């Protein structure tokens, strides 16, 4: 209910944009693509590089490999000790770049502090860049070159908007967060679809006011429930990229979900929203990279 004194201002509940359901649809499409490639003699393969013993990374990589198995993609993992040198990592990437059985390469982040993450990501061949993090692919996205891998999280958000029949054209969109892997590519993708895009970040003055103007809110700051429900414009679409583990073990997003859901026309849950789409889009990138090796 939007009011306290009757049915005058009844606000319908928002559409819950179900990432798990959309991810299942994407995976079924990928499985078809993998099958078609197999018929042409191409066995799609993804290699994941994991460094050290970060427990979350171990879980994510296990999940990615399970996803691969489900859609018929062959996956390999190189698990290196936290003490690995930069030179050793670069040598492994050079080897994978040269291996024709490897269509996609992914280096699970974060890397240990002594490794230069940028140098490692830059060493992955742009033609095998399953995450879409290579500067060539980032540049291609920003100037609109089609057919290159795109960062999985924002690509997943775009697919969710499409499935929810939300056309960004002409809408005011705000992306909160300016990371290279989510915020910046997210803004580029919304701009490509003709949204009027604002990028907000930790130095933004009056974040509440900026959010209140937006028809589409994408929260990717990594701070539990920073975006308050009463900042949300009535009828806005809310996409929560955040995944924050509270002291009690509960996982919450960057948006105050229950309060935002009272105002939004559509909203993504956490968990079960953007996260599953990030995983699904990795498979899309991988099969697309394999397809591009066809003569
Ligand atoms: N090389 C990369 N490293 C990292 C990426 C990335 O895209 N590429 N993103 C994150 C981690 N990540 C994938 O790697 C990832 C994390 C979580 C989920 C997810 O599905 N989350 C679930 C909830 C899981 C839970 O309960 O803990 C959800 O939202 O429903 C997907 C992908 C950092 N590193
Ligand atoms: Mg989620």
Residue 48 CA, chain-centre distance (Å), reads: 17
Q: What is the pTM of this model?
A: 0.95
Whether residue 21 lies in the annotated active site: no
- Site of tokens 């005058």: 8
CB 100 within 8 A of CB 111: no
Tell whether the model's pLDDT for residue 278 goes beyond 70: yes
Structure token pair of residue 256: 């105050």
Q: Is residue 5 in a domain? A: no
Q: How far apart are alpha carbons 79 and 105 in whole angstroms?
A: 13
Element (H, E) at 243: none
Tell whether the model's pLDDT for residue 8 goes beyond 90: no
CB 127 within 8 A of CB 70: no
Q: Is residue 233 in a domain? A: yes
Q: Is residue 15 in a domain? A: no
- Whole-number average pLDDT of the chain: 96
Q: Is residue 138 in a domain? A: no
Q: Are residues 161 and 107 located together in one domain of the fold?
A: no
State pLDDT tens for residues 76-104: 999 999 999 999 999 999 999 999 999 99
* Residue 147 CA, ligand 2 centroid: distance in Å: 26
Query: For a pocket test of ligand 1, which of 278, 281, 286 has the largest count of ligand atoms closer than 8 A to its C-beta?
Result: 278
Q: Are residues 180 and 115 located together in one domain of the fold?
A: no
Q: What is the ipTM of this complex?
A: 0.94
Atom of ligand 1 nearest to the CA of 108: 1
Ligand closest to 255 (CA) is 2
Q: Which of 67, 129, 131, 254 is catalytic?
A: 131
CA distances from 80 to 52, 111, 130, 161 (A): 6, 11, 19, 37
Tally of structural domains, the chain: 2
Q: Residue 177 is part of a domain; what is its CATH number?
A: 3.40.50.720
Both ends of the chain: CA-CA distance in Å? 58
Q: Are residues 159 and 122 located together in one domain of the fold?
A: no
Residue 1 confidence class, pLDDT cut points 50, 70, 90: very low
Range of the structural domain that residue 203 is part of: 152-275
Tell whether the model's pLDDT for residue 2 goes beyond 50: no
Q: Is residue 250 in a domain? A: yes
Q: Which residues line ligand 1 (CB under 6 A)?
A: 60, 106-109, 131, 152-153, 243, 251, 270-272, 275-276, 278-279
* Residue 15 CA, ligand 2 centroid: distance in Å: 15
Residue 10 confidence class, pLDDT cut points 50, 70, 90: confident
State pLDDT tens for residues 192-249: 999 999 999 999 999 999 999 999 999 999 999 999 999 999 999 999 999 999 999 9
Whether residue 108 lies in the annotated active site: yes
């Amino acid at each position: 209910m939007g009011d306290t004194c009757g049915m005058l201002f009844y606000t319908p509940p928002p559409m819950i944009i179900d990432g798990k359901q959309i991810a299942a649809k994407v995976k079924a499409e990928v499985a078809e693509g993998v099958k078609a490639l197999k018929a042409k003699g191409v066995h799609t393969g993804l290699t994941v590089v994991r460094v050290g013993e970060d427990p979350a990374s171990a879980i994510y990589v296990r999940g990615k490999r399970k996803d691969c198995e489900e859609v018929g993609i062959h996956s390999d993992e190189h698990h290196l000790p936290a003490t690995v040198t930069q030179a050793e990592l670069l040598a492994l990437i050079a080897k994978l770049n040269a291996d024709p059985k490897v269509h996609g390469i992914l280096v699970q982040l974060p890397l240990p502090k002594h490794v230069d993450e940028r140098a490692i990501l830059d060493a992955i061949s742009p033609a095998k860049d399953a995450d879409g993090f290579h500067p060539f692919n980032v540049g291609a996205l920003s100037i609109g070159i089609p057919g290159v891998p795109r960062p999985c999280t924002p690509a997943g958000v775009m697919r969710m908007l499409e499935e929810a029949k939300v056309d960004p054209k002409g809408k005011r969109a705000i992306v909160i967060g300016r990371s290279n892997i989510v915020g910046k590519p997210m803004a580029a993708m919304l701009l490509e679809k003709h949204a009027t895009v604002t990028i907000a970040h930790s130095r933004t003055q009056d974040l509440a006011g900026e959010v209140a103007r937006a028809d589409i809110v994408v929260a990717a700051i990594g701070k539990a429930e920073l975006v308050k429900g009463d900042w949300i414009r009535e009828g806005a679409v809310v996409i929560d990229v955040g995944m924050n583990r509270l002291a009690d073990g509960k996982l919450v997003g960057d948006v105050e979900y229950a309060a935002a859901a009272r105002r939004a026309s559509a909203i993504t849950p956490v968990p079960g929203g953007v996260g599953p789409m990030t995983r699904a889009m990795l498979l899309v990138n991988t099969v697309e990279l394999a397809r591009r090796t066809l003569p």
